[in-house]
Amino acid sequence: MSGAPVPAVCVVVGDEELLVERAVARIAAAVREEDPTTEVHELAPGTFHPGQFAELTSPSLFGERRVVVLRAAQDIVKDMVPGVLAYAADPADTAVLVAVHAGGAKGKALLDGLLKAGAHRIDCAKLTKPAERLEFIRGEFQREGRSVTRNVAQTILDTVGSDLRELAAVCAQLCADTEGRIDEAAVARYYTGKAEVSGFTVADRALEGNLPDALEQLRWALAIGTSPVLITSALARSLRGLAIAGQPIRGVGEGEVAKRAGVPPWKIKSIRQQARHWTAHGIAHAIAVVAETDAQVKGAGTDPAYALERAITAIVAARR
């Protein structure tokens, strides 16, 4: 951002905290570059009044620059909105207003008003796709002047999890601790294991009949604190998909079958593949096992982990 003048009004839109922090810090740094005496003022909703906002944004006696950060702009009280919008339409040249907005429907009027007044928009939405996270990891290394392969980035993602703050910290740590190339061995020296295993991974392995893998994934899932209830519900959901969508239903389209089974349409093909190893009675038995296990993990048994292991063994055994 250095070089170009900082826009007088910015909105940082999104709920990914780390990215929001960085965007705000970047703006503040850019303004400081122009004027090292710049003061940064943080305003949170509920703690400031209209007068304070006007005071901070109006030109000061000594002409020093200010950055006014309006935190959680979606939560500010209604009476304040016109004041902020009026300022945004005619900003002072000594102050930079940064409104941080979580996105979403709350306080949308303020966001739209600011954008209409010509505010500079910076998007910081949560990363949802794995590919975006991999990109983020590689970007982190690039910031430090290092580079990693896709596989290394994937290893980091697997072992650390998807929280961006943690990922950023891990990347910085790896850069500081490792000389030369950062490869999978270097990552493995500091980080091992699995950070995120969903119940569905466990269920998929079990339905495929891969007992050792299913049990391993189950242990990982429990070790990182996945609730046993989520695992039984994932098992139930997968079995439901298998029972309903496993065989084509006469006179019913694929899309409708997927809807009834509660699975995404693209999954039908892999479900049919799984279904070749299952009989109707086998599935019925597996469903009975899951129902009993759900009771066990909800207090009818003493050890949820044991109940789940038994369930997975029984489910694998129920295959053809």
Partner 1 sequence: MTAAGVFADLVDQDAVVADLRAAALAAADQLRGGPGTGMTHAWLFTGPPGSGRSSAARAFAAALQCPDAGCGHCDACHQVLAGTHADVRVVRPAGLSYGVKETRSLVLRASSSPTSGRFQVVLFEDADRATEAAANALLKAVEEPPPRTVWLLCTPAPEDLLVTIRSRCRLVRMRTPSNRAVAELLVRREGVDQRTAAEAARAAQGHIGRARRLAVDDEARTRRLAVLDIPGQVDTLGSAMLAAADLVQAAERDAASTSGELDEAERTALRQAFGEGATGKGVQKAVRGAAGALKELEDRQKSRATRIKRDSLDLALLDLAAFYRDVLAVQFGADVELSADPARVRAVAGASSPETTLRRLDAVMRCRRRIAANVHPQIAAEAMTTALFTG
Binding site for partner 1 (CB under 8 A): 77, 232-233, 236, 240, 243-244, 246-247, 249, 260, 280-281, 283-285, 287-288, 290-292, 294-295, 298-300
Which ranges of the chain would DSSP assign to H, the alpha helix? 17-34, 50-57, 81-89, 108-116, 130-143, 150-160, 164-177, 184-190, 199-208, 211-223, 228-245, 254-261, 268-275, 280-295, 304-317
| Nearest one of 127, 200, 191, 183 to 158, comparing CA atoms | 191
- Supply the minimum distance, in Å, between the C-beta of residue 239 and partner 1: 8
- Supply the minimum distance, in Å, between the C-beta of residue 45 and partner 1: 12
- Which of 178/270 has CB closer to partner 1? 270
- Which of 14/246 has CB closer to partner 1? 246
> How far are the Cα atoms of 31, 101, 158, 218, 295 from residue 212, in angstroms, in the given order?
57, 47, 19, 10, 24
- Which of 8/297 has CB closer to partner 1? 297
Q: Find the angle CA(158)-CA(162)-CA(164) to the nearest 5 degrees.
A: 130
> How far are the Cα atoms of 42, 52, 77, 113 from residue 48, in angstroms, in the given order?
10, 6, 10, 21
What is the C-alpha separation between 279 and 286, in angstroms, rounded? Answer: 11
What is the C-alpha separation between 282 and 318, in angstroms, rounded? Answer: 5
- Supply the minimum distance, in Å, between the C-beta of residue 262 and partner 1: 8
- Which of 69/207 has CB closer to partner 1? 207
Q: Find the angle CA(188)-CA(163)-CA(270) to the nearest 5 degrees.
A: 80
- Supply the minimum distance, in Å, between the C-beta of residue 135 and partner 1: 38
- Which of 137/287 has CB closer to partner 1? 287
- Supply the minimum distance, in Å, between the C-beta of residue 294 and partner 1: 5
The first and second tokens of residue 116, run together, are: 């209409």
- Which of 244/308 has CB closer to partner 1? 244
- Which of 117/245 has CB closer to partner 1? 245
- Supply the minimum distance, in Å, between the C-beta of residue 232 and partner 1: 7
- Supply the minimum distance, in Å, between the C-beta of residue 230 and partner 1: 11
Burial class of residue 305 in the structure, from the number of CB atoms within 10 Å of its CB (0-12 exposed, 13-18 middle, 19+ buried): middle
